[in-house]
Structure 1
Amino acid sequence: MSSETTPTSKPVKSTGLHLGDAEPGCRKVDPILVADGVTRTFGGLTAVDVAHVEIPRGAITALIGPNGAGKTTFFNLLTGFDKPDSGTWQFDGRSLAHVPAYRVARMGLIRTFQLTKSLGLLSVLDNMKLGAKDQTGENLFRSLLPFLWRKQEQQIEAKAVELLTRFKLDAKQHDYAASLSGGQRKLLEMARALMSDPTLVMLDEPMAGVNPALTQSLLDHILDLKTQGMTVLFVEHDMHMVRHIADWVVVMAEGRIVAEGDPHSVMQDQAVIDAYLGAHHDTDLGAAHTSNVEAVKELIDDEQ
């Protein structure tokens, strides 16, 4: 029977990232981020209730789930932009509990936002330079003595221009950040994240609102982060993107981790199907979920 008609002939991506069965909370061979018992409630609503999860080092991990699953809230907790009700979590063996966001970033864990945070009235180049850490000129006394920081400033600017060139934003370096398109702002935020030489890059819906013409460029840059030795954790609703670039997938629903595994296995997991389609597949999910539902159905058909 030909490979086109044999369901089992489709190659399965071998990750070698986990120990034992691929199940919610499974141990990883070399985890860079570990969270235990992390919860966050808003009034009577439990937004996050993660018993245990480990993010593998050196891989691209996708965090997926339906709208309202708690993905962005979980991101905010891990990066110090929100405080949990309970739980502990470690990055590269160091506890991040009670560590403010700016110190988390200095430790090598950098995140981007679904709604970009560029400073619109600064130039693109100045936005980039803000991303560099340990700048001598940030000290009030030293800022008055240019000979102490001028050489470092030149090195930071050279690095910023190099990154802008890589992201094809060098022609815009002297323009106001507010003049960039939505996709260009996503590229700027990712480029600025690299100014601090991060170990782990967390991207919150990097494709949201991006013109299709820039989608492939963003995908290539995400893959390039892994090539450069960084770990990537990203939230995404585009299931095709997840399948093509993710090494590992973590699925959230109603604040909990309901499935983990390589993209091939996760797309066929009943818990994932239920999370996106509902436990009763004949339920009217409404227009907001239509694209996700169709994407999951299509991917399941593809895998079969």
Structure 2
Amino acid sequence: MSSNATPSKGAPVKSTGLHVGEPAPGVAKVDPIIVADNVTRTFGGLKAVDVAHLEIPRNAITALIGPNGAGKTTLFNLLTGFDKPDTGTWTFAGTSLAGVPSFKVARLGQVRTFQLTKALGLLTVLDNMKLGAKNQKGENLFRALLPFLWRKQEEEIEAKALDILQRFKLDAKVEDYAASLSGGQRKLLEMARALMSDPTLVMLDEPMAGVNPALTQSLLDHILDLKTQGMTVLFVEHDMHMVRHIADWVVVMAEGRVVAEGPPHDVMKQQAVIDAYLGSHHDQDLGATESENVEAMKELLHDED
């Protein structure tokens, strides 16, 4: 553990239910579901991720934020087995995931969605959902030839899929091809499909990116509902108002490192966060998304005053 995670000798230890000690990069959590140490990833001469120590609290919604190029999605890819780090170890629910491929990570209960959805466009919505179920008997070549071995399970999987689709208000699209869905509906489908494997941790990479405003509230409600159902949520997001609205804990990255952690109302006021979003842009032309993000930070800081 990094020195930041351990209170100085003789200092009082504070606990807020999620963390122990003063909120700072690498602060210890009361019940962490992910613990990562010395995770680095370099592309050419650029160190995209350089995380000394990070713990993600269980049964909470954690937002991973930071300016463009901070390393958020790269860290996501490393933790879920979609990329390999140069160095580092990490555990999920006490099990080491270093070197474990993504499909095995998902089987352990850690699933993710993507900024660009991965729905299979030439399959129906229902078939996409069925693919999300784990331990299917019919996946074995020999058993696939003997329907009586898997038919009952297939019926149970379909019933579960229809129930989840109804909760996500996609039941009217059951027989539609996934390619025909809107961007927001594909986000909903990807989140719904993730629930087919009964995950413990759901990781969402920019769940609101490209979503029609009419579906934004629906997605927010579903993310909050994941926590209500006992799941842990870790998500990357650029919408600061959304982060403050639903996150229990915020981790801030800049230039590959974790520069701040804390409850959303507190972390927004930390100097490291202000510098990450505002200080690095004085002499740069910003894109539309980043400009909106900077303005949102200013609004939030103003609201807190």
Scaled by the length of structure 1, the TM-score of the pair is 0.94
Q: Deviations over 1:169-227 (max 9, x none)?
A: 00000000000000000000000000000000000000000000000000000000000
Please name the residue that 1:4 is paired with.
none
Please name the residue that 2:98 is paired with.
97
Following the alignment from structure 1 to structure 2, what is the Cα–Cα distance between the partners of residues 15 and 269?
Answer: 18
- Judge conservation of contact 1:15–1:262 (CA < 8 Å) in 2: no
Give the counterpart letter for 1:167 in structure 2: F
Following the alignment from structure 2 to structure 1, what is the Cα–Cα distance between the partners of residues 239 and 98?
Answer: 31
Please name the residue that 1:11 is paired with.
none
Please name the residue that 2:270 is paired with.
269
Give the counterpart letter for 2:248 in structure 1: D
1:264 CA drift (Å): 0.7
Change (3 A) 1:274 1:285: farther
Give the counterpart letter for 2:284 in structure 1: D
* 2:218 aligned with 1:217: yes
Q: Deviations over 1:248-286 (max 9, x none)?
A: 00000000000000001111011001001125x643342
Matches for 1:124-273 after TM superposition, within 5 Å: 124-273=125-274
Structure 2 residue matching 1:73: 3-state secondary structure: helix
Matches for 1:23-62 after TM superposition, within 5 Å: 23-62=24-63
Please name the residue that 1:283 is paired with.
283
Following the alignment from structure 1 to structure 2, what is the Cα–Cα distance between the partners of residues 128 and 116?
Answer: 14
Change (3 A) 1:174 1:254: same
Give the counterpart letter for 1:251 in structure 2: V
What is the count of residue pairs matched by the alignment?
290
1:16 CA drift (Å): 2.0
Following the alignment from structure 1 to structure 2, what is the Cα–Cα distance between the partners of residues 191 and 67?
Answer: 27
Following the alignment from structure 2 to structure 1, what is the Cα–Cα distance between the partners of residues 164 and 21?
Answer: 40
Structure 2 residue matching 1:117: 3-state secondary structure: coil
Following the alignment from structure 1 to structure 2, what is the Cα–Cα distance between the partners of residues 287 and 221?
Answer: 30
Following the alignment from structure 2 to structure 1, what is the Cα–Cα distance between the partners of residues 18 and 166?
Answer: 33
Structure 2 residue matching 1:249: 3-state secondary structure: strand
Following the alignment from structure 2 to structure 1, what is the Cα–Cα distance between the partners of residues 58 and 262?
Answer: 15
Please name the residue that 1:5 is paired with.
none
Q: Deviations over 1:142-195 (max 9, x none)?
A: 000000000000000000000000000000000000000000000000000000
Following the alignment from structure 1 to structure 2, what is the Cα–Cα distance between the partners of residues 156 and 190?
Answer: 16
Q: Deviations over 1:17-69 (max 9, x none)?
A: 00000000000000000100000000100000000000000000000000000
Following the alignment from structure 2 to structure 1, what is the Cα–Cα distance between the partners of residues 25 and 294?
Answer: 22
Please name the residue that 1:6 is paired with.
none
Please name the residue that 1:8 is paired with.
none
Structure 2 residue matching 1:243: 3-state secondary structure: helix
Structure 1 residue matching 2:35: 3-state secondary structure: strand
Structure 2 residue matching 1:229: 3-state secondary structure: coil
CA RMSD of superposed structures (Å): 1.0
Following the alignment from structure 1 to structure 2, what is the Cα–Cα distance between the partners of residues 172 and 15?
Answer: 43
1:117 CA drift (Å): 0.1
Structure 1 residue matching 2:29: 3-state secondary structure: coil
Following the alignment from structure 2 to structure 1, what is the Cα–Cα distance between the partners of residues 239 and 192?
Answer: 22
Give the counterpart letter for 2:119 in structure 1: S
- Judge conservation of contact 1:15–1:247 (CA < 8 Å) in 2: no
Scaled by the length of structure 2, the TM-score of the pair is 0.94
Structure 1 residue matching 2:20: 3-state secondary structure: coil
Following the alignment from structure 1 to structure 2, what is the Cα–Cα distance between the partners of residues 99 and 286?
Answer: 38
Following the alignment from structure 1 to structure 2, what is the Cα–Cα distance between the partners of residues 55 and 247?
Answer: 11
